[in-house]
Amino acid sequence: MANLIPPHGGKGLTKCLLEGAERDAELKKAEGLLKIAVSPRVKGDLIMIGIGGFSPLTGFMTKADWKGVCDDFLMADGTFWPVPVTLDVSAAQAAEINEGSEIALQDPESGAIMATMKVTEKFELTEADKKYECEKVFMGEGTPTAEEFWKIAEEDHPGVQMVMGQKEFCLAGPVKVLSEGEYPTRYKGIYHRPEESRKIFEEKGWSEVAALQLRNPMHRSHEYLCKIAVEVCDGVYIHSLVGNLKPGDIPASVRVKCIDALVKNYFVEDNVVQGGYPLDMRYAGPREGLLHAVFRQNYGCSRMIIGRDHAGVGDFYGMFEAQTIFDKIPQPEGGKALLCNPLKIDWTFYCYKCDGMASLRTCPHGKEDRVLLSGTMLRKMLSEGGDLPDHFGRDEVIVILREYYEGLTEKVEIKTHKAATGD
């Protein structure tokens, strides 16, 4: 791995996933432990801790870590980290658990044991604490005051709803991960551990790798972002979220088909790698952009493509707030700083007068000459059965998406916002 960026935190890939006889023994021990069902978000975090995607984390955060991350982007040991990674339990469950004891963490859907955990700390997260976390992590330039934020956050921000819906207590401590859930089988060949993506990049001789975060179907703007990155880096890692999304978002299996079609027909395939990761979206905008850069560093990427409204939802964030936040974060020493740098790209679109893809930095023409590309608008138009403007997406991709929408029995209303419409 000498030519690739080192993992975040200065400790290499801190993998907590057990395999073989060691896993079998831990599973047997878990049968006699108190079992705690985890939320979908915690399940994704747990897998990422297990495979080294969240290096240097080896478990869930303490109260001091939580506070430091909220306030200063730093864990208690001084390591940069932008978003709390906590395990919540009810007051009744917390009463059954003593610090120093071991518990088993269980997938609520399958009943499978995901991990064992040694509880080193138990702390309450009050309603005031949850609101504090929401204001620190989710409040952006689109709602610059707490009053403006709370007018709409609890109804319109899925990340805020997730935090405010957490149970009353949190448990901290190291984990031994025993399962990667359904991801290795359902997304075989797409789902990667960091060691696997790093091996692929090494075999290709890449050292400078750019990551494209993807939660929407890949349209012309995404394609253009990737091609810009291919020009300035050795290759691009199209890294698609295969965890849970909000209602109305397009499932991972459909997005993977779209990426396959684009790469096959419009890229030099040797310069692109497609992968998937198991997290749920938090929709934390700028803070989530930083988290994306942290774990992409662990996957071997030295650059994180950050475009318009990265990881945003509604109008909570400034259009390019996820770019400017990289210039404001602390830079601790000893491998504890974020080393994956942003590849900042302006708003991109198709321009009829330019007769091609362009950006606000390169195109002198007006809004009326542009096809403004947005995953939200793409989903809204397709869900309503409308016609798409020319050059909005590649024909091969549109065919896949129309087939998906025609097969839906229930429709979800897609809300538009300023970042989607160009207002």
Active site residue 193: no
Which one of the listed residues 41, 198, 215, 379 is annotated catalytic? 215
Length of the chain: 423
Half-sphere exposure in the Cβ direction for 24 (13 Å, CA): 2
Active site residue 215: yes
150-158 long-range contacts (CB < 8 A, ≥24 apart) are: 152/314, 153/316, 156/313, 156/314, 157/283, 157/313, 157/314, 157/316, 158/246, 158/281, 158/283, 158/313
Q: Which two tokens stand for residue 132?
A: 């504090």
Q: Which two tokens stand for residue 410?
A: 């229930």
Task: Spell 303-316 as b/e; 16+ CB within 10 A means b.
Answer: bbbbbbbbbbbbbb
Q: What's the rounded Cα separation, in Å, for the pair 77 and 164? A: 27
CB contact at 8 A, 363 and 370 = yes
* Phi, psi (deg, nearest 5) at residue 17: -90, 120
385 backbone φψ class: left, alpha, beta (φ>0; ψ -120 to 50): left
Which residues are catalytic, by number? 215-216
